[in-house]
Amino acid sequence: MGAVQDLSTSLGGKRACQDLAVPRASYYRQQPRGMCPPDADRRCSSARRLREEERAAILACLHEERFQDGSPAQVYASWLAAGQYHCSLRTMYRLLAAEGENRERRDQWRRPPDAKPELLATAPHPRWSWDMTKRRGPAQWTFYDLYLILDVFSRSVTGCMIAYRESAD
């Protein structure tokens, strides 16, 4: 890369890479970025990035008791109404996501999982279950209701009935 850098001062980066058969992406990737000092790491941060003190101050404001149940949009609106501007709304979401706090900030009631019904039979015939289904008839648009009574232990059919329509009988 040193040869490309020496040649790029007189010919330019594109032409030097072509003449020395070096990929331009590799050459430009190793160049220092625009606002970075020459001894900086390859990937330096933007000059507009929030400093750690500013990040801590914004997070402290977001964690205040009066904003504890509010969304970042509500906090942002109340800051603007008070004549304060700390950061953009998107930056608030970004800071909360970095801290793992971007879920719903209000306390949530979680429904307990429903218990699945379980029919347990240890011998034949003490416990039955039923099922009803519609079956297609021989003619078009005709249906029959099939009612089944099942033994839970052996899963055998103990009773059945076919009806043309559903009724209380």
Pair 43, 56 in one domain: no
Examine residue 116 and state whether it is found in any structural domain, yes or no.
Answer: no
Pair 134, 153 in one domain: yes
Pair 37, 59 in one domain: no
Q: How many domains does the chain have?
A: 3
**Domain of 59, in residue numbers:** 52-98
Q: Residue 116: what pLDDT?
A: 85
Give the separation between CA 8 and CA 23, rounded to whole angstroms: 13
User: Residue 147 to residues 31, 53, 58, 67, 90: CA-CA distances in angstroms?
Assistant: 79, 72, 66, 59, 59
Q: Left if phi > 0, otherwise alpha if psi is -120 to 50, otherwise beta: which for 12?
A: left
Examine residue 2 and state whether it is found in any structural domain, yes or no.
Answer: yes
Examine residue 123 and state whether it is found in any structural domain, yes or no.
Answer: no
Pair 93, 77 in one domain: yes
Pair 42, 1 in one domain: yes
For residue 1, give the nearest of 17, 18, 19 by alpha carbon.
Answer: 17
Q: Model pTM greater than 0.75?
A: no
Per-residue pLDDT of the chain (169 residues; tens, 9 = 90+): 788 888 887 888 888 888 888 888 888 888 766 545 555 455 566 777 888 999 999 999 888 988 887 888 999 999 999 998 989 999 999 999 998 887 765 677 888 888 888 878 888 888 888 889 999 988 898 999 999 999 988 888 999 998 888 777 7
Q: Residue 89: what pLDDT?
A: 92
Examine residue 104 and state whether it is found in any structural domain, yes or no.
Answer: no
Examine residue 145 and state whether it is found in any structural domain, yes or no.
Answer: yes
